[in-house]
């Protein structure tokens, strides 16, 4: 693999492309020995099953397919320090009733806010931590 000089902002743009437009964009930004970290409370998957771009693309595709109009946007960041980049994001979607979450009522519009931390080596994400929560309010930056 050829080392990349992509900035944290360029990698973050690829991350949003993967979540918003094309899950297969994972193949452009995820490293070969990828590790995903999720909070254990309420997790709908075992993050140990996601170890490469293909499994990340599959998970993203499955997750985003459970909503109508799912869209993530950057609220703040990325802020980079060495290999780590941090972004605060928000997402909006219309529920289809496919997640099993109590708030997933078909037709209900929901908003999430969260933080992702990406460890980037040679322009590829090799580790990611993500934490999000549903909210009734949009971040001030989205107002």
Q: Global pTM?
A: 0.89
Asked if pLDDT for residue 2 goes beyond 70, the answer is no
**What is the rounded (10 degree) CA torsion for 86, 30, 126, 55?**
110
Residue 102: DSSP 8-state: T
Per-residue pLDDT at 96: 94
Per-residue pLDDT at 142: 59
Comparing 22-31, 63-72, 76-85, 99-108, the range with the smallest average pLDDT is: 99-108
C-alpha Rg value of the chain to the nearest Å: 15
Quote the CA–CA distance of 98 and 106 in Å, as a whole number. Answer: 8
Q: Are 45 and 36 in contact (CB under 8 A)?
A: no
Per-residue pLDDT at 41: 62
Write the pLDDT tens digit of every residue in 101-113. Answer: 888 899 999 999 9
Per-residue pLDDT at 19: 97
Residues of the chain above pLDDT 70, percent? 90
């Amino acid at each position: 693999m050829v080392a990349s000089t992509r900035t944290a902002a360029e990698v973050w743009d690829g991350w949003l492309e993967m979540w918003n437009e094309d899950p297969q964009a994972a193949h452009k930004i995820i490293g070969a020995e990828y590790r995903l970290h999720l909070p254990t409370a309420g997790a709908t998957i075992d993050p140990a099953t996601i170890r490469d771009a293909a499994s990340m693309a599959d998970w993203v595709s499955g997750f985003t397919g459970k909503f109508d109009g799912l869209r993530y946007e950057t609220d703040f960041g990325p802020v980079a320090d060495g290999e780590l980049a941090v972004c605060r994001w928000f997402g909006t979607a219309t529920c289809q009733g496919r997640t099993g979450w109590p708030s997933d009522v078909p037709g209900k519009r929901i908003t999430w806010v969260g933080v992702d931390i990406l460890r980037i080596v040679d322009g590829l994400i090799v580790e990611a931590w993500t934490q999000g929560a549903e909210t009734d309010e949009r971040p001030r930056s989205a107002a």
